[in-house]
Amino acid sequence: MKTIEMKRTLSILCLLSFSLFMNGQQATGYTKTRNYTAERTYMDASSQTGSGGARIVSDIVYTDCFGRKEQEIQVGGSPGGNADLVLSYTYNMMGQVEKEYLPYAKTGNNGAFDKFSPERWSVYGTGEQAYAYNLTQYEDSPLMRVSRKMGPGKAWHTSDKSVRVTYGMNSTNEVRCYKVSSSGSLIASGFYGAGKLEVIVETDEDGHRSKTYTDSNERTLLTVSVNGEDSLATYYVYDDRNCLRYVLPPEASHRLAETDTTDISVLHSLAYSYEYDKLNRMISKRLPGCAPIYMVYDRGDRLVLSQDGTRRTADTKKWSYFLYDSHDRVIESGEILLSAEQTCGELQLAAWESEHYLPSGTRTPLQYTVYDNYKPTENVTAHPFVAAVGYDTPYTLYPSGLTTSTKTRLLGTDDWLTETIYYDDRSRVIQTLCHYPEKGLRYRHTAYDFTGNVLRKQDNIGTDILETVYTYDDRARLLTKANTWNGRFTDKITYVYDALGRLTGRNYGDKVSESLSYNIRGWLTGIESQHFSQTLHYVDGVGVPCYNGNISSMIWHSGSEAGLRGYKFTYDGFSRLKDAIYGEGEQLSNNLNRFNEQVTGYDKNGNILGLLRYGQTNTMSYGLIDNLNLVYNGNQLESVNDNATGHVFGNGMEFKDGASKEIEYEYDANGNLTKDLNKKIADIQYNCLNLPEKVQFEGGNSISYLYAADGTKLRTTYKTGNATTITDYCGNAIYENGVLIKVLTEDGYITVSNNQFHYFIQDHQGNNRVVVAQNGTVEEVNDYYPFGGLLSSSLSNNVQPYKYNGKELNRDNGLDWYDYGARMYDASLGRWHMMDPMAEKYYTINSYVYCINNPVGYIDPNGLWAQSSLGWFTDNTKDIGRFLNMMQIEIEMQGNISKDQLNNFIYAEYKGIGGRLSDGSTLLSEVNAVLDKIRGWDILEYQKKAMLNEIDEYTSFVQNDYIQQVAGLSGDWKHFVGPSLIFLGQPIRALKPIGALGSKPGSSIASYTLSKAFLQRFTNVFGKKIGTKIAKKVGTNTIGRAIGRFVPYLGWGITIVTTSFSLGEKFGPSTWFGNNDYKWFE
């Protein structure tokens, strides 16, 4: 545990005494003539007790006389600890940040303020020293809004490639006006008058423009992407109560504008629509091409019933239900078949009369959840703790607010998957026990160091044991990872970093080594190993330069292939891939066009209208293998016609034109594909999670899937003729026909038959390009089309099934689908066949589009969202908030998310360690407990409302569609990101290469910032004296810590903050706001 106590000093004498006391503990290199704040992180218990050998990590922030950050220094932050990492800031005449310099390493600095010197940035390459900063310029007006942003890099600065922002008002006949009638229908009402709306125009480095129109209530009414004369417009329509009622994506708004009507068929097939009750609770929503989803709430505003289109089609009396505990946490969910048919309105009326409403009917529970303790309940009994040598045995008996046990039904069966989670006294998971039907109990032990890094973990797979041991430097950078299988067979991976802390190399045992390189912006430019190499070009190379981050060309070499191969890429004005032109040699000028993939057209929603694909047609022949014309009904595919006469040779992938009918694809009421005549699929059945349950082929063959009710895939059954093959998935263990054949690791897998480790050598997207055995033998080589199809030249690509994006490829019966977890992907068509569960996060593009039609620059981790394959290089609050939403999605899926996944999102190709996020229950339970407490206080109603609003504002970032309904809160994640960035001073992008992210309870930026933010907000509302008392009573630090635990990977470990006060030149005494004996941390 780490604590800090802040107290207000009331006299100059006390202030000076405190300053002298703190200065006595500081490193000798600190520049004491400047204002600074020093932060120390204790790396082990001896550091706190003061015993010998203490390990302390120090950071320092120097500020000017106005309190603005001048320099941030990580003392000894460079790998090896021999150099400081330094970040500097400069300001314009108005006091705004003008230049944020990239970090550099300086030896022998020991925390001292460092003056500018151009050679400091030589690490970024020849000629780049003068351009190693982010430039922000502002408009010349009292509003001082950002007008221009330019990132680092000589190529950008010398070519004047920057992001430009202009502000203005709408003109006549520019923005259509839509309204909502009293009956809820959409009304076209001409155009907004000139000057009625504000418009912000942002132009990126390649000249691509986007416009955002807002009204006087700051509601976004229209977003437009512009490409010459073409544009993609998305309209947002609100009712008189400020509720979003319709969203008209580009294709819908285009068709409605053409006819100047509000055609109901267009709205149903292409638009989003919502209905609300008088309490502004969403009671119905219709997604494009889907039947409405109905929702019913109890008196506590908690979602208790919902019904989607497929349930209603199967039986109008079938609903999903949710039961809650006293803290509004879901403790039981499932399906209910009502004893009598009732309308949504009738159910809502009945629900209003009860705090815990559930109509009469036959319930089929799908999941039970237990919190706070390990006592047996009526439905769930916890698995006993299993002690293991080298792992903590004490566990917390009452982990308040945390999930302790779950019991999850295997859909379509009476079997259950039961799991128990044990925590240490810092709420860290130390043991997870999971009982699989037929396979028995499996468990994982986890051990941590003092600062919360995972030191080792042990997976018990029946009688087999896989243990992984990690080592780190003091900045939490992973140094080594060692796997041991059954105590005898071991592999080891070591990690290499440059002076800035960027990952520059990995060594797999003593047979395989890999090096990584970057440009000045931190974008990956090269991967080099004995078995696979790749070079990525953005503004250089043989392709058309792309300054906005798109990849202009890519060259690779795999396995024993002769020569270099690659693609040149071109994009349209919306960054959608147009042409991927294949070539060979350094200039990609040899053997041109052999494996081209070219999109000949998109509709306004991003649906591919035409696709050309070239490939190998014979032993020595190449040509056109796909010439596709795609026809849609709304966003749903109706038919595909292939005009190519050539067919792929060998093991490559192509579209199989197996039918010639007007309707070749059919969908259910939830937008899921149910028939594909081209693949000879007669029927696809889905479970209640919209995951495929059975794919039935015309000839009698089939593929069946078994899922748990939380979405975990447990079994795939392949039936081909009289042969049946069953593959079981138990965590990272894979069985075939009951025999354990493979165990997945973080970097590959183990074949159980010979106890052999195998490594995945991946490209910039995490595509498995080469599989190498531990002895250095190349076992498999995979080359891919941009949209993920396998080139026919791939070598032995049936050794293992994990291919594109590291996802499992199912080729049985010609299915050729990649399993991303939440959805299945068809690379031959470049689209999904199921609706996106997060469709409402991406209104501007349709739910079936893969990676916003930019498969070169984006990946999809699990079928839910697209993210840049380059990683996360932004300080934009929208991007940060989207990242937090993504983590919350993982939680709702009740799946595990590893640091590997997080770090791949944050920066390219960084490999971290596995971990498990909190399920969010801690935050929600603590927040709701505080809300209940406030509602019961004997204070004026306006005071209650003010406090509730403040808490709502700062905690709503964790809410999305489902959690909002559960918690009864509403709001926007940007309110969380704001104070976090204030504390950080927006150094996210600059700090990115310095060290691994991750923190423990009570030590994240979220914990620290939000505790202070809550206090400040209460003092703003009620005054300092009363506000401080209320803040203490509410427990703002508790909420801050809860949020900190919920996003543990957001921030750096913040421990003891020491503040120095200087009376040096031009500096007066510094002060800070605190509270006597107020503990900000646990």
Question: What is the spatial distance between Cα 197 and Cα 743, in angstroms, rounded to a whole number?
Answer: 58
Q: Could you give the percent of the chain with pLDDT greater than 90?
A: 70
Please report the pLDDT score of residue 664 as a whole number: 98
**Least-confidence region, from 195-199, 507-511, 609-613:** 507-511
- pLDDT for 1031 equals 60
pLDDT at 642 over 60: yes
Q: Output the 3-class SS for 328-371.
A: CCEEEEEEEEECCCCCHHHHHHHHCCCCCCCCCEEEEEEEEEEE
Q: Which residue has the tokens 């600074």?
A: 36
**Dist. CA 293–CA 20, nearest whole Å:** 65
For residue 299, give every residue at least 6 positions away whose Cβ sits within 8 Å of its Cβ, in sequence order, or none: 351, 352, 353, 354, 355, 357
Cβ-count burial of 621 within 10 angstroms (0-12 exposed, 13-18 middle, 19+ buried)?
A: exposed
Q: What is the mean pLDDT of residues 750-768?
A: 96
Q: Are 402 and 430 spatial neighbours (Cβ–Cβ below 8 Å)?
A: no
| pLDDT score, position 117 | 77
CA distance 860 to 868: 9
User: Is 996's pLDDT higher than 90?
Assistant: no
Nearest alpha-carbon partner for 488 in 457, 466, 508: 466
CA distance 453 to 796: 39
DSSP assignments along 1027-1081, one per residue: HHHHHHHHTHHHHHHHHHHHSTTSS----EEEEE----TT---------TTEE--
Q: How far is CA 62 from CA 32, 89, 292, in A?
A: 10, 10, 56
Q: How confident is the model at residue 49 (pLDDT cuts 50, 70, 90)?
A: low
As a residue count, the chain comes to 1082
Q: pLDDT tens across 1008-1049, in order?
A: 444 454 455 555 555 555 566 556 555 544 444 444 434 333
Q: Which pLDDT score, from 0 to 100, does residue 1058 have? A: 25
* pLDDT, mean of residues 966-977: 30
Residue type, 341: E
d(CA 185, CA 182): 8
pLDDT at residue 658, rounded to an integer: 96
Higher pLDDT, 851 or 1061: 851
Beta strands in 530-660 (DSSP E): 532-537, 553-558, 565-571, 577-584, 597-602, 608-616, 622-633, 636-642
pLDDT score at 44: 86
User: What are the φ and ψ backbone dihedral angles of 388, each rounded to 5 degrees?
Assistant: -145, 145
| pLDDT tens digits, one per residue of 19-46 | 333 333 345 588 989 999 999 988 888 7
C-alpha pair distances (Å), 1074 with each of 8, 22, 69, 1060: 6, 17, 20, 15
pLDDT at 971 over 50: no
Q: What's the pTM value of the predicted model, to 2 decimals? A: 0.81
Do residues 581 and 592 make contact, with C-beta atoms less than 8 angstroms apart? yes
pLDDT band at 560 (very low <50, low <70, confident <90, very high): confident
How far apart CA 948 and CA 124 sit, in angstroms, is 49
More confident residue, 491 or 912: 491
Q: What is the bridge-based pairing of β-strands 146-150 and 186-191? A: unpaired
As given in the structure block, the two tokens for residue 570 are 């071109």
Query: In the predicted model, is pLDDT for residue 286 greater than 50?
Result: yes
